[in-house]
Structure 1
């Protein structure tokens, strides 16, 4: 048996937040579920200028144009006690119709066997598109559910309604 996670919760909310929207929604999800959180932190953090997708010279624009530049090393890819979580909600912003590639190593380097994985993205206008299925394709373990797009400004009531609708809360 593996070492239990810090709180004893069987639910983890793992997320990357570029501008704080995904983080706010993810923290609301975690609070509602009594879940633990794991923030995906790039070893080389993105600055505001790096995230300016309207500037073709910005980091995200260069990474978008050249998939070979999309490897984003994380400070840590696996939370303590990961094996003990049964449900993992994975939150991310949508970049050009895709899950922010910051999530790629987290998905590739963890074993989701025996876990239900619930991807969710935040956006003001972009749909979930194929972002969740692309993440699921990076991993051949776990029971990946369809992705859901939440408004970047989703409040606690909207988050709770979504969690009830998908049967997690």
Structure 2
């Protein structure tokens, strides 16, 4: 898939637990000259919630429960007016962070091109794209882009080019 339609309206939407995905989303949004919009949970994640070394931390409980749908803040990003949506998130235990399940199921993806991008300590993006596109049930889903935390604008541009975008 190549995205070359300069008249297409592009959005960058993301969830970030520890700030790594936020940083990448803001840099990516800069590449397209748009503002990044954040998916915020109704109950924000504390450091303890994101302490993956504790078996019962909130992120681990949600990750291992495929039915978990964390509530989102009332103002979720509205992507209805966009043709292309770059959708960013961290990988938790090999899949998209749990708030993405809630968000993806709340949006009508019909007619949209979705380009997932993730930050991860080592897991690939493949499983998360499969999960999210299945939950969405519509849209044209790109294979996704794995971006290293703290990547420069040049590194992000190189990843976009490598991915054919």
What TM-score bracket applies, with the shorter chain setting the length?
0.7 to 0.9
The residue correspondences of 1:129-168 to structure 2 (distance < 5 A) are 129-168=126-165
| Match of residue 4 from structure 1 | none
Instruction: Give the whole-Å Cα distance in 2 for the aligned partners of 1:76 and 1:119.
Output: 23
1:79 aligned to 77, 80, 103, which one?
77
Q: CA deviation at 1:127?
A: 1.8
Instruction: Give the whole-Å Cα distance in 2 for the aligned partners of 1:78 and 1:46.
Output: 17
Instruction: Give the whole-Å Cα distance in 2 for the aligned partners of 1:63 and 1:83.
Output: 28
| Match of residue 120 from structure 2 | 123
Q: 1:167 to 1:77 in 2, by over 3 A?
A: farther
Cα RMSD, aligned residues only:
1.9
Q: TM-score, length-normalised on structure 2?
A: 0.88
| Match of residue 13 from structure 1 | 12
Q: CA deviation at 1:63?
A: 2.3
Q: CA deviation at 1:35?
A: 2.3
Q: Which structure 1 residue ranges, 5 or more long, are not aligned?
A: 1-7
Secondary structure class of the residue paired with 2:114: strand
Q: CA deviation at 1:153?
A: 2.4
Secondary structure class of the residue paired with 2:147: strand
Instruction: Give the whole-Å Cα distance in 1 for the aligned partners of 2:19 and 2:159.
Output: 20
1:96 aligned to 84, 88, 93, which one?
93
Q: 1:158 to 1:44 in 2, by over 3 A?
A: same
Q: 1:91 to 1:166 in 2, by over 3 A?
A: same
Q: Which structure 2 residue ranges, 5 or more long, are not aligned?
A: 1-6
Q: TM-score, length-normalised on structure 1?
A: 0.86
Q: CA deviation at 1:36?
A: 3.2
Q: CA deviation at 1:161?
A: 1.2
The residue correspondences of 1:34-73 to structure 2 (distance < 5 A) are 34-68=33-67, 70-73=68-71
User: 1:104 touches 1:135 (CA, 8 Å); kept in 2?
Assistant: yes
Instruction: Give the whole-Å Cα distance in 1 for the aligned partners of 2:100 and 2:75.
Output: 9
Instruction: Give the whole-Å Cα distance in 1 for the aligned partners of 2:128 and 2:137.
Output: 16
